[in-house]
Amino acid sequence: MIKFNHIEYNCAMELTIEIIGGKWKPLIIWYLAEKTMRFCELKRSMPHITQKMFTQQLKALEKSGLIKRVVYTEKSPKVEYSLTDVGKSLLPILSTLCEWGVNYTRSVESSDKVEAKIGL
C-alpha cells in the first residue's frame, strides 16, 4: 500500500496510472519532448482532443509537476508549455512503450497473415 497526497493506492502501478494514465497525458508529454510549445501549437498536434479535455489534462500534468506553464504578459499574451526534469524522466519509458506498440502491430499482422494462409 502506498500513500501519496492523502490517498492510499494498492500498488505503485495504480499511483503511476493516476499520474500519467489516460489517452492524452502520455501524448502531451511525448510532444513536449521535442520542444517547448505554445498552447495552440500543442493543441494542433492533437486534433481529436476537445478543448475542455486538453485544458484539464494540461492542468493535471502541471499540478503533478511533469510540465511547466509559463505565461508571457506581452502585448499579445502567450502561454508556453515544456517538460520539467521529472517529466523528462518519463521519456525513456514512453519510448519503450512506442517500441512495444510497433512490435505488437508487427506480430499481430504477421500472425494474421499466417492464419489467412492456413485458412483460420
C-alpha to C-alpha distance for 35 and 80, rounded to whole angstroms: 10
C-alpha to C-alpha distance for 93 and 13, rounded to whole angstroms: 13
The mean pLDDT value for 77-105 works out to: 96
Reported pTM: 0.86
- Amino acid letter, residue 103: N
Backbone φ and ψ for 101, nearest 5 degrees, come out as: -60, -45
Q: Pull the grid cell for residue 26.
A: 502520455
Q: What pLDDT, in 10s, does the model give residues 12-66? A: 999 999 999 999 999 999 999 999 999 999 999 999 999 999 999 999 999 999 9
State the average pLDDT for the chain. Answer: 92
What percentage of the chain has pLDDT greater than the value 70? 92
Residue 48 is given by DSSP the state T
